[in-house]
Structure 1
Amino acid sequence: MPAANKDTDGGWRSFVWNSERKEFLGRTGCSWFKIFAFYVVFYGCLAGIFIGTIQAMLLTLSNYKPTYQDRVAPPGLSHTPQSDKGEIQFSMNDPNTYKGIVKAMDNLLAKYNPDNQEDITKYEDCGGETAGDYKERGALDGEGGMRRACRFQRDWLGSCSGGDYGFNEGKPCIIVKLNRIVYFRPKPPQNNETLPAEAQLNFQNNVLPMYCTNKREEDKNKISNIKYYGFNGGFPLQYYPYYGKLLHPNYLQPLVAVKFNNVTYDEDLRIECKVFGANIDYSEKDRYQGRFEFKLHVKSS
């Protein structure tokens, strides 16, 4: 038995290093060199093919313009404050219930402060509070450097521009914006006949109007006296097109503030807001495509 163990032990050692044949793990030094060189060349070729295909693909892409933008859906309509469940609930007599909401709105409007828009190399006046046509800033390429952004003053949002945004009075505000799509030109409605009757009064040229109303018929008489601030409740064309983060890093989206001056307290109210445009569509699969809805619950105590 001891002799057998010695032979077994010797066979194992001989496999690791065979001094007679000069083999390590069954291969000579020349054999190890050949197989190492083969795999270096093999994986080097694979890496070269991979890097080459990536470089070839990058040659077809632009740093400034999306290559395939024809599949991009119309812009979404988003609002602040926003919750995961699409519900805005607070007590007008308890500041702690809307403290987080006020902070979120302050953060959104901070970059719209006048002192942040004083640099004339980054910002320009585009008609003030008068709506105008598209502001063309050249081709979507690196020629001409960064594009200046149109100024948008938070004061244009009236009573929804600061403070407690009406939450302390039970008259809450929401801030609405169209999501950015590079080089997209929203088209306003051709006439006011495509708008709801109540929204036709706000129709104006060069503006995409927005309108909020009750989602459920039973809430019709529970929501009234809705006021819109910022270009009379719409998105003016001179803020478009958007040239992307590289060319338009200081871009300010136009905002619309909506204030609900008269809502029934202590009830769940379903509200829907829509933006109207000739190239704005709506989808039942995406509740934020061109519209959004939320539940508003104002507690009186």
Structure 2
Amino acid sequence: MDPSTTDGGAEEKLIKSPLGCVQLLLQAGGSRSAEVSSPNECHKPPKVILKHGVELEEEQEELAEHQPLEQEDLNFERWKRRPIPKRTLHQKIADLKTYLWNAETNEFMGRSGKSWSLILLFYAALYAFLAAMFGGCMFCLMWSISPYHPTFNDRVMPPGLTMAPHLEGHDIAFNASDRKSWKKYTRSIDEFLRSYNDAAQDRKNIRCAHDSYFMQDHLEDSSERIACQFKRSWLGECSGLQDPYYGYSHGRPCILLRMNRILGYLPGQGKPVNVTCGVKKGPQEAIGDIQFFPKNIFDLNYYPYYGKLRHVNYSSPVVAVRFAGVQQDAHIHVQCKLNGKGIINDSPTDRYLGSVTFTLEVGAAERVGKQTGRRSRSSRAGLKQTGNQCGSSADQS
């Protein structure tokens, strides 16, 4: 640096160190000289020192320390979010109208007509491509599978067992003398047997030979299969033809059992599957005599089943069970199950696999009638006593 002159006329000379630190020394007579600081002292702010060792006040240090903070404050104020002035409702409505349609730029919702056209064209092409891809996949899938039988089948599940009447839960509880208590059961059985009417079976199906499978595999896949008859009249006292109430009005109820339809299933491996019913919990005497109609077996001539597209008029065989000697006023747990080769009837997880369990409780008709008579007599006595009290109170008044 070129030498300069101070106010006293002395020359001033600055000498910079390699680290850029400079110290100013005042020489005698008011002149100054510069000295190079050590590297450890380069981090400290510069000081002006008199030659005689008297330090000046550290005003320059304070200024050097506060100068960066003041600069940061200025930067913060520059980027600080300024409050947005509140807009009136009229201004907001005007902004909304301008956003929906800007007459100056001819824009709708911030976009021109060309921009909207390109967007709509893009999405139309996108969804058309997705629809075409989905349609192509569905076409290939439907073309590769058969509507008459499964394309892949690892194993055939054993059949389940269903019953009628089928209501919410499997609890059959009624009083023989109370029509309302068992009417829902008879109505459910009527609906179950509607397709088994004799006239419909004679018109649609044929009478088949017993104790042998009715195989029709030689026909084409699309050919309709012939179905065997199963007439309602074969169910005897549980058919609803002799007794329209299926024994419920006499305390001898009937239930109907049917196996699930399984495509191509041959039950029993050549021998008919039979049905047995008994008490699951409690004494066996509580259920009394059990009758089966027409037999306690599912005949082989109704199998195999070829599906609803080919076996259009197929009627599943039914086994009717009549509890003729059930103990009255007893809560009985009854289980009916299938028995035969390949049948599973003791699954702990599926209660309908090969068996069905329900509760049966039949109220005594005479007992219910006696209780009803006692209630009517007691109600009449109460009314008579009330009338006498009213008459006596009227006489006193």
What TM-score does the superposition give when structure 1 sets the normalisation length? 0.81
> What amino acid is aligned across from residue 207 of structure 1 in structure 2?
P
Match of 1:112 among 196, 199, 217: 196
> What amino acid is aligned across from residue 137 of structure 1 in structure 2?
Q
Task: Give the equivalent residue in structure 1 for 2:131.
Answer: 47
Structure ranking higher in helix proportion:
2
1:2-151 equivalent positions in 2, closer than 5 A: 13=98, 16-17=101-102, 19=104, 23-70=107-154, 73-119=157-203, 122-127=204-209, 131-138=210-217, 142-144=221-223, 146-151=224-229
Shift of 1:186: 1.2
Aligned partner of residue 246 in structure 2, secondary structure: coil
Q: Is the 8 A contact 2:99 2:110 kept in 1?
A: no
Q: Is the 8 A contact 1:65 1:141 kept in 2?
A: no
Q: Is the 8 A contact 1:76 1:291 kept in 2?
A: yes
Take 1:222 and 1:298, find their aligned partners in 2: how far apart are those partners?
11
Take 1:124 and 1:14, find their aligned partners in 2: how far apart are those partners?
76
> What amino acid is aligned across from residue 189 of structure 2 in structure 1?
M
Take 1:255 and 1:236, find their aligned partners in 2: how far apart are those partners?
10
Inter-CA distance 56–140: structure 2 relative to 1 (3 Å threshold): farther
Q: Does residue 166 of the first structure (1) align with residue 247 of the second (2)?
A: yes
Shift of 1:169: 2.2
> What amino acid is aligned across from residue 241 of structure 1 in structure 2?
P
Shift of 1:224: 2.6
Q: Is the 8 A contact 1:65 1:140 kept in 2?
A: no
Take 1:249 and 1:14, find their aligned partners in 2: how far apart are those partners?
63
Task: Give the equivalent residue in structure 2 for 1:254.
Answer: 317
Inter-CA distance 14–245: structure 2 relative to 1 (3 Å threshold): closer
Task: Give the equivalent residue in structure 1 for 2:361.
Answer: 297
Q: Which moved more, 1:238-247 or 1:96-105?
A: 96-105
Inter-CA distance 14–47: structure 2 relative to 1 (3 Å threshold): closer
1:205-216 equivalent positions in 2, closer than 5 A: 206-216=271-281
Q: Is the 8 A contact 2:254 2:323 kept in 1?
A: yes
Shift of 1:248: 1.4
Q: Is the 8 A contact 1:183 1:241 kept in 2?
A: yes
> What amino acid is aligned across from residue 131 of structure 2 in structure 1?
A
Q: Is the 8 A contact 2:202 2:229 kept in 1?
A: no
Q: Give CA-to-partner distance per residue, 1:44-69, whole Å, 9 cap, x none.
A: 21222222222222223222113344
Shift of 1:294: 0.7
Shift of 1:265: 0.6
Task: Give the equivalent residue in structure 2 for 1:199.
Answer: none
> What amino acid is aligned across from residue 263 of structure 1 in structure 2?
V
Inter-CA distance 28–209: structure 2 relative to 1 (3 Å threshold): same
Take 1:226 and 1:12, find their aligned partners in 2: how far apart are those partners?
83
Shift of 1:143: 3.0
Shift of 1:26: 4.3
Inter-CA distance 14–153: structure 2 relative to 1 (3 Å threshold): closer
- Which residues of structure 2 form unaligned runs of 5+? 1-84, 369-397
Inter-CA distance 15–249: structure 2 relative to 1 (3 Å threshold): closer
Inter-CA distance 30–125: structure 2 relative to 1 (3 Å threshold): same
Q: Is the 8 A contact 2:222 2:310 kept in 1?
A: no
- Which residues of structure 1 form unaligned runs of 5+? 189-204
Inter-CA distance 31–276: structure 2 relative to 1 (3 Å threshold): same
Take 1:170 and 1:293, find their aligned partners in 2: how far apart are those partners?
20
Task: Give the equivalent residue in structure 2 for 1:233.
Answer: 296
Aligned partner of residue 52 in structure 1, secondary structure: helix
Inter-CA distance 110–30: structure 2 relative to 1 (3 Å threshold): closer
Q: Give CA-to-partner distance per residue, 1:179-207, whole Å, 9 cap, x none.
A: 1122222125xxxxxxxxxxxxxxxx732
Q: Is the 8 A contact 2:213 2:301 kept in 1?
A: yes
Inter-CA distance 140–284: structure 2 relative to 1 (3 Å threshold): farther
Take 2:128 and 2:307, find their aligned partners in 1: how far apart are those partners?
38
Take 2:247 and 2:232, find their aligned partners in 1: how far apart are those partners?
16
Task: Give the equivalent residue in structure 2 for 1:286.
Answer: 350
Take 1:61 and 1:258, find their aligned partners in 2: how far apart are those partners?
41
Aligned partner of residue 262 in structure 1, secondary structure: coil
Aligned alpha-carbon RMSD (Å): 2.8
Q: Is the 8 A contact 1:207 1:237 kept in 2?
A: yes
Q: Is the 8 A contact 1:64 1:141 kept in 2?
A: no
1:188-207 equivalent positions in 2, closer than 5 A: 188=269, 206-207=271-272
Take 2:299 and 2:233, find their aligned partners in 1: how far apart are those partners?
16
Q: Which structure: larger Rg? A: 2
Q: Is the 8 A contact 1:124 1:148 kept in 2?
A: yes
Take 1:15 and 1:88, find their aligned partners in 2: how far apart are those partners?
67
Q: Is the 8 A contact 2:288 2:327 kept in 1?
A: no
Q: How many residues align?
A: 273
Aligned partner of residue 308 in structure 2, secondary structure: helix
Identity %: 36
